[in-house]
Amino acid sequence: MAAGTVHPSIAVLERNLTLYRRLWRASVFSSFVLPVLFVISIGIGVGGYVGSVKGVDYLSWIVPGVVASTAFQMALGESTYAVLGDFKWSRAFHAMRATPVQPRDILAGHLLYLLFRVTIAVLTFLLVVLFFGALRSPWAVTVPLACALLTVATAAPVCAFAASIDSDSHFALLFRFVMIPASLFSGVFFPIEQLPVLIRPVAYVSPLWHAVELCRSATLGTAPPWPVAAHVGCLLLWAVAGTLLAVRRFRRRLED
Amino acid sequence: MIFARDLVKRFGDFTAVNGIDVEVAPGEAFGFLGPNGAGKSSTMRMISCVSAPTSGELRILGMDPVRDGTRIRARLGVCPQLDHLDPDLTVRENLTTYARYFGLSRAEGRRRADELLDFVQLRDRAGSMVEPLSGGMKRRLTIARAMINEPDIVLLDEPTTGLDPQARHLLWERLFRLKQRGTTLVLTTHYMDEAEQLCDRLVVMDGGKIVAEGSPRSLIETYSTAEVVELRFPDGLDLNADYAAKMSGIGERVDPLPDRVLLYADDGDAALTEVHRRGLTPSSVLVRRSTLEDVFLHLTGRTLVD
Ligand SMILES: Nc1ncnc2c1ncn2[C@@H]1O[C@H](COP(=O)(O)OP(=O)(O)OP(=O)(O)O)[C@@H](O)[C@H]1O
Ligand SMILES: [Mg+2]
């Protein structure tokens, strides 16, 4: 028997890609066209009034924020209904559970799939803004890495959440109280120094803020507010804790 | 192949499986027969290594499901009570994707998928999505999927519940072929005829316990008579117990049900003659062979399909 030719997590990744082949047209708009339109309208339109932030033209300043925030929204959005659905409605994860695929492989397959999607979106986006002259440092090549780390740091805890709830109405809370505040207060559109001191900790705990600062320092070639290792460490903390929690939740959910 | 001793499954304080002993030999077709809530599915999920036993001993293919779950699952084919096919994949993709979960190469997955599509007669639907398939087609696809890894044991939880008679017979015929190839089959059902058609040996479960065990024929011989006479009376309902009393002594046993009286006798016609001789005039009469349904009724005092 030709067993063991593929790792179970890769088999799960392939399944997700097979599904994606049917849907990719629909996602091109939200994951690629939308951010580009965004950069053009906000960066160039609003930038015309704002002028520059910290001595950098607004377009160049906002591009790394939008890249990271695109990755963040993709990682979060794709780990909600899709994950709950495979537990609850299609029960596809239960079907996998009846094979040598283990809960950790199911999670790994999902994360690999998101890394694939996010990386493609980030690379295309970078290519476009390159022509707008918005990448000012060769360090910009590290942006996909920061976004990959952000993807795991975001998707893993959200997967754990999706595996713990029984009704999709809980996602409304997630969007309202996590996604929107994180998107607004993580230094995507304006420096967090503008925030009241009381709200600033929201940025410090948000994985998005750390990724935004890493991306911004990469595309502008400047030093981030905290040491690079501190930003990376915070993202790693989210990624590792989220993954451990998600594996436990997946295992419990598939036990019944 | 399967060995269980004093197997127990509890959900909170509720005991779904209450200390059962089961042994299944290679090549055997083994059945769990029982009414709703008997604990059949709970037992099947423990055997498929997706649910851990609360207590007792369980060995599948000589291995421990808790420690070697992954290795055991690699050699099982599981067809659960509720289909969980991938609704957004095509019929064929459901099979090829599943093949990859077992670590098969893509080429091998495609080869087996085509072979199995022929086997369950779904070749002409290979490119169709799963959603529009009929219940019987989905069930056949689930069975095909359960066989993609050429399993040593195929576990089927109520394979034909909810199907029309034609679809059921097609499935039975496919399962029968599988059995002829030497695959060990374990199935649950609450259909007597299914158990009689497919099972070499079965256990009757009720309330989480095994109440009888044997081949369909030996169960009938032990717990019933060769023939059964079903009698309906025009003013039945409340009076069935009285009619039954008047028949006492005829055949082996008389059982009044709400809608009819069952008379157990090895010679049904002779028993019926005696009924008439006693001056009873049933409005309808049926003499038939005894089935597992009668066994179940005798063992639990209840009918199986409600
Ligand atoms: N995950 C669970 N949590 C709590 N109770 C459960 C769970 N699964 C099953 N039960 C209970 O255990 C009992 C046995 O259920 P099981 O599904 O094993 O019965 P069954 O013989 O398969 O019945 P059916 O013919 O309806 O499929 C039922 O009373 C059921 O409510
Ligand atoms: Mg059941």
Give the count of Cβ contacts less than 8 A between chain A and B.
84
Confidence of residue A46 (pLDDT cuts 50, 70, 90): confident
Host H or E run for residue A108: helix A103-131
ipTM: 0.91
Q: What is the distance in A from the centroid of ligand 1 to the CA of B190?
A: 14
Give residue ranges of B with CB < 8 Å to any A CB.
45, 48, 50-52, 70-71, 73-74, 76, 78, 80, 82, 84-89, 93, 97-98, 100-105, 108, 149-150
Q: Detail the DSSP E strand segments found in chain B.
A: 2-11, 14-24, 29-33, 55-60, 76-79, 153-157, 184-189, 201-206, 209-214, 227-232, 253-256, 261-265, 284-289
Of A33-42, A209-218, A220-229, B190-199, the range with the lowest mean pLDDT is: A33-42
Where exactly are the structural domains of chain A? 8-15+24-255
Beta strand pairing status for A56-57 and A52-53?
A: antiparallel
Can you read off the two tokens belonging to residue A153? Answer: 């740091």
* B185 vs B29: CA distance, rounded Å: 5
- Residue with the smallest CA separation from ligand 1 atom 26 is B36
Where exactly are the structural domains of chain B? 2-214, 225-289
**Residue among A2, A14, A99 minimizing CB distance to B108:** A2
Tell me, what DSSP letter sits at residue A42? Answer: I
* A35 vs B224: CA distance, rounded Å: 75
* B240 vs A197: CA distance, rounded Å: 85
CA distance A170 to chain B (A): 24
User: What is the model's pLDDT at position B297?
Assistant: 82
B228-252 pLDDT per residue, tens: 999 898 876 678 888 888 888 888 8
For residue A92, which residues of chain B lie inside 8 Å, CB to CB? Answer: 84, 86
**Shortest CA distance from A91: residue in chain B:** B84
**Shortest CA distance from A102: residue in chain B:** B70
**Residues in A 84-103 with any Cβ partner in B closer than 8 A:** 90-92, 94-102
Can you read off the two tokens belonging to residue A26? Answer: 């629909």
User: What is the model's pLDDT at position B51?
Assistant: 92
> B225-289 has which CATH code?
3.30.70
User: What is the model's pLDDT at position B237?
Assistant: 66
Superfamily of domain B2-214: P-loop containing nucleotide triphosphate hydrolases (3.40.50.300)
User: What is the model's pLDDT at position B236?
Assistant: 61
Report pTM: 0.90
**Shortest CA distance from B11: residue in chain A:** A256
Q: What is the distance in A from the centroid of ligand 1 to the CA of A111?
A: 34
Closest atom of ligand 1 to B205 CA is: 21
**Which of these, B297, B296, B276, B298, lies nearest to B287 by C-alpha position?**
B276
B24-63 pLDDT per residue, tens: 999 999 999 988 889 999 999 999 999 999 999 999 999 9
Host H or E run for residue A232: helix A228-253
Confidence of residue B95 (pLDDT cuts 50, 70, 90): very high
B172-192 pLDDT per residue, tens: 998 998 899 889 999 998 887
A104-137 pLDDT per residue, tens: 999 999 999 999 999 999 998 999 889 888 899 9
* B95 vs B116: CA distance, rounded Å: 9
